């Protein structure tokens, strides 16, 4: 099984630069972006060159570091770094990891003593961004371990698991969330020559499943079959899958989970067909200030992603378009949430609080 792709990397110290694997070019071309200012990071997040809740947060943290490159005083550096936090927070509204990472960077910025040299200030910011990156890598590994143990009990040799969008190394700082579980299960099954198949939804309209998930699975030698989103019901009806596992961009205190559009439909289908439905996400994806998924902001993206997908017009001029990027799977439809701290099951506010926090909004 090959190594995970290097999605995000920082070169140098406090005056370094950020390199991102440009996911808009996959699978046809492996190309990298060197980001040397805040605006280039904002653009990369906005246009999905880097995507996936954890990866967005990591990229934004490094983006804050870039704000100090042209500053000569601590006051100037602090002002620029705080402005970078504000700017990067505008890039994507749904992924809570973005705001969590930026708040950590704000904490470092505001806590720095007034007599701190600018060079030391920049190094401290870079160190915090690296810590966020390293922590996510460790969280991915733990999610993989917990999830593989869980799925091993429900997915027989020769069975299948359905996943949606992309939740692997391309979306995180490590092996992924939902895909980390599947990678870990694949490694365990290899040792006993017991394979299983991953069914990957295309994930309309930007085809993250077809372009990115299939690319990762093939690169790492995991048996995989690509299907259209609309085929999921038939695949379940035929008994080809024994579990569904997805990631999340924000999870409310009651366990409602926002993820790429199409996830809610999969949860409904899984419930109807008696297939367990799992969500895999780090504790940083939980937003305990939101009582339920009704309060999660849902990003609406440009109509052209549907009418002119990948540069080719597929709808008539003047067509009205509704293009929400995410939907919310209610906690009642989620069998378990797999985190780096353990498995939340049943998915209730009390169980969420027991694993990832202590306060549940009224």
Bind-site residues? 51-53, 92, 208, 259-260
- Helices 96-111 and 118-151 cross at an angle (nearest 10°) of 150
DSSP 283: G
- Retrieve residue 321's tokens: 């378009």
How far is the C-alpha of 201 from the C-alpha of 210, rounded, in Å? 7
Residue ranges for the known binding site for substrate are 51-53, 92, 208, 259-260
**Which one of 249, 256, 287, 327 is the catalytic residue?**
249
Cα 68 vs. chain centroid, distance in angstroms?
Answer: 27
How far is the C-alpha of 320 from the C-alpha of 359, rounded, in Å? 42
Strand, helix or coil at 8?
strand
Could you give the strand order of the β-sheet that contains 342-344, starting from the edge strand earlier in sequence? 224-227, 197-201, 160-163, 243-246, 277-280, 336-339, 342-344
Please, what's the largest Cα pairwise distance for the chain? 67
Instruction: Determine whether 249 is an active site residue.
Output: yes
Angle (CA) 31 36 42, round 5°: 80
- DSSP assignment of 299-326 equals -B--THHHHTGGG---S-TT-----BSE
Helix (H) or strand (E) holding 34: strand 32-35
Q: How many CB atoms lie within 10 A of CB 263?
A: 27
DSSP 174: S
Annotated catalytic residues are 249
């Amino acid at each position: 099984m090959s190594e995970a792709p290097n999605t995000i990397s920082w070169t140098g110290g406090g005056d370094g630069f950020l390199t991102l694997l440009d996911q808009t070019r996959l699978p046809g071309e492996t190309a990298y972006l060197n980001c040397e200012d805040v605006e280039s990071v904002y653009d990369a997040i906005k246009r999905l060159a880097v995507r996936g809740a954890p990866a967005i947060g990591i990229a934004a943290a490094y983006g804050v570091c870039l704000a100090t490159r042209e500053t000569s005083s601590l006051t100037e550096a602090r002002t620029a770094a705080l402005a970078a936090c504000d700017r990067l927070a505008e890039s994507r509204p749904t992924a809570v990891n973005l705001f969590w990472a930026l708040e950590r960077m704000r904490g470092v910025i505001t806590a720095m003593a007034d007599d701190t040299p600018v060079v030391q200030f920049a190094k401290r910011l870079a160190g915090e961004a690296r810590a966020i990156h390293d922590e996510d890598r460790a969280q991915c590994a733990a999610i993989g371990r917990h999830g593989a143990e869980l799925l091993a009990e429900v997915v027989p040799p020769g069975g299948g698991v359905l996943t949606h969008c992309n939740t692997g190394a391309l979306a995180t700082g490590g092996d992924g969330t939902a895909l980390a579980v599947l990678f870990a299960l694949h490694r365990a099954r290899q040792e006993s020559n017991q394979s299983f198949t991953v069914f990957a939804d295309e994930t309309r309209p930007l085809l993250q499943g077809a372009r990115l998930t299939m690319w990762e699975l093939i690169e790492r030698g995991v048996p995989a079959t690509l299907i259209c989103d609309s085929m999921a019901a038939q695949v379940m009806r035929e008994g080809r899958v024994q579990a569904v596992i997805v990631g999340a961009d924000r999870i409310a205190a009651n366990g409602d989970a926002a993820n790429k559009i199409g996830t809610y439909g999969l949860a409904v289908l899984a419930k109807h067909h008696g297939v367990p439905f799992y969500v895999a996400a780090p504790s940083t994806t939980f937003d305990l200030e939101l009582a339920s998924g009704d309060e999660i902001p849902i990003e609406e993206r440009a109509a052209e992603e549907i009418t002119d997908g990948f540069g080719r017009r597929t709808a008539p001029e003047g067509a009205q378009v509704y293009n929400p990027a995410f939907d919310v799977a209610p906690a009642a439809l989620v069998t378990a949430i797999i985190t780096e701290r353990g498995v939340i099951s049943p998915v209730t506010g009390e169980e969420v609080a027991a694993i990832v926090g202590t306060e549940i909004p009224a």
